[in-house]
Amino acid sequence: MAAPARRLDTQINFLQRLPQRPILLPAPPPVEPGERDDVRRLREQLDAAVRSKVMSATELIRAIAKQHREELLPITIEPLDALLGGGLPRGKVVELAGRSAGGRFSIVLAALAAATSAGEAAVLVDLGDHLDPQIAEATGVDLRRLLWIRPQKMKDAVHAVEMIAATGFQLVVLDAGLPPIRGKRVAEASWVRLARTAEAQGTAMLISTPYPMTGTASEIVLDARRVRPKWTGSGNSPRVLAGMSMDVIVNKHRHEKEGRSARLEFVTLEAASR
């Protein structure tokens, strides 16, 4: 057994005696600041009306990214979109707070259906465990474009939203369910990190909670209240739930007037089929 050990020591000593030659890497191409000469010469030869529309590839990519961040994601519920100023703002956090989960989750499904039916990928972090895939598909959600996450605690849900939003999903929804919420309330710094992640990625972020949680991190806070059920049937005939109405009030909006309200009307799948 001593011979292999001596051979190994010899090989190590030989490698240590080899001259250490630096590895020469090719120098990166120089980056010229400002506008390229060929693009500048091309613009100088064009009319003023056309000149402003000519862009280099880098300028075009930046313009498309800026336009995408300034777009809105309509929920396709007209009264609600009007309160939001056209829809969910990309790159911002919108909080929908209300004690009842029925109305809030109907808005969650509408947002998921609007995004996935338009070909965008969406995420539902379902702390309340309210999603029924069959009902979601019947309401227009494309399940092939939906990532469904079911955390156990609020802290895990917030961490999941932050991690998933950083991957580039266009819509990320967190539904906290009904009180009492599983797990302790998270610090406001966690919501601020979510807002920064949404802004960096251009992600539309909807937080559905039984009471306000996001604090200063949210761009818009909506208060969902006064859920009224609607029934069919009278007299001795059995009564069947046909739908519900819900009032939504703008408690906070950084660009629109606060205090505005709208009434949303929802119908059940059975009533819609009739």
Domains for the chain: give ranges and CATH numbers.
Answer: 82-273 (3.40.50.300)
Q: Say what the pTM is.
A: 0.72
Q: Containing H/E element for 60?
A: helix 57-70
Res 32: pLDDT? 46
Query: Which stretches of the chain score pLDDT less than 70?
Result: 1-36, 39, 49-70, 102, 235-238, 269-274
Res 270: pLDDT? 66
Q: Containing H/E element for 222?
A: strand 220-232
Collect all residues with Cβ–Cβ distance below 8 Å to 232 and sequence separation of at least 6. 239, 240, 241, 242, 271
Res 15: pLDDT? 46
Task: With CA atoms as reference, report the closest residue to 76 among 120, 119, 121, 107.
Answer: 107
Decide: 102 and 94 in contact? Cβ < 8 Å: no
